[in-house]
Structure 1
Amino acid sequence: MLVRYKKVLEKIAMGLISLMPQEKDLKRLMETIQQYEQEDNWVLYLWKKDEEYVGIVGVLADDANATIQHITVIPSYRGEGVAIEMLQELRELGYKVIKPNEETEPFIQKCIPILKEAD
């Protein structure tokens, strides 16, 4: 289940985002979190499975369009379809067009065939 980011989840969100190769630098990671906190069209969701946060997806929202800025799953849950579930739930939230940015494109391209099968 997607849970919208709140300040109380900051440390969990930072830990999840830091799993992305481009977010290893602490300064960049802090700037990323601030962007999600300060920009109305930057929306961050954490994926909660049972009582554990296991993934994160961040979007740049433009009406019904979502550009995926960040997406990752903790290593022990990779290969279980968590990212696909996150993207499907984004659609259920009303994002009609979901597209990657340059950094997330290789990962999202792997998910698209599976998403199309689910339609």
Structure 2
Amino acid sequence: MLVPYKTTNQKIAMGLLSFMPKEKDIKKLTKTIERYECDPDWKLYLWKEDDYVGVIGIIIEDGIAKLQHICVNPSHRNEGIGKKMLNELIKLLPCELKPTKETRHFLSACVEERSI
């Protein structure tokens, strides 16, 4: 289930985001979370199964949602959770979803699978 981020889940979100290669540094990670908390164009969601196991974040610019972050806890990878998060997010969006350089590979793989 996709759950909108709340500050009460900050530690969980930071832990999940820290699995992304460019979010390893604590200062960068803290700035990223602050941006999601303060900027209304930055939206972060957590994926909850029994526990929170994934995170997905977008930035809305000029009527386009850019997939900024997507990460699943390593112990829950290869279970289709990333694709589930992406599909649920697309249902919520009022606009087109585009990848960033970091998320392009994942998004294109999911689109290819859906068109088969």
TM-score scaled by length of structure 1:
0.89
Alignment match, 1:34 = 34
CA distance in 1 between partners of 2:112 and 2:34 (Å): 33
CA distance in 1 between partners of 2:8 and 2:96 (Å): 29
Tell me if structure 2 keeps the 8 A contact 1:44–1:58: yes
- Aligned ranges 1:1-119 → 2 under 5 Å: 1-50=1-50, 52-62=51-61, 65-117=64-116
RMSD between aligned residues: 1.5
Shift of 1:63: 7.4
TM-score scaled by length of structure 2:
0.92
Q: Mind listing any 5+ residue stretches in structure 2 that lack a counterpart?
A: none
Runs of 4+ in 1 over 6 A off after TM superposition: none
Greater Cα shift, 5-14 or 90-99: 90-99
- How many positions carry a matched residue from both structures? 116
Q: Mind listing any 5+ residue stretches in structure 1 that lack a counterpart?
A: none
Greater Cα shift, 87-96 or 41-50: 87-96
Tell me if structure 2 keeps the 8 A contact 1:84–1:114: no
Shift of 1:115: 3.2
Shift of 1:97: 1.5
Q: SS at 2:45's partner residue?
A: strand
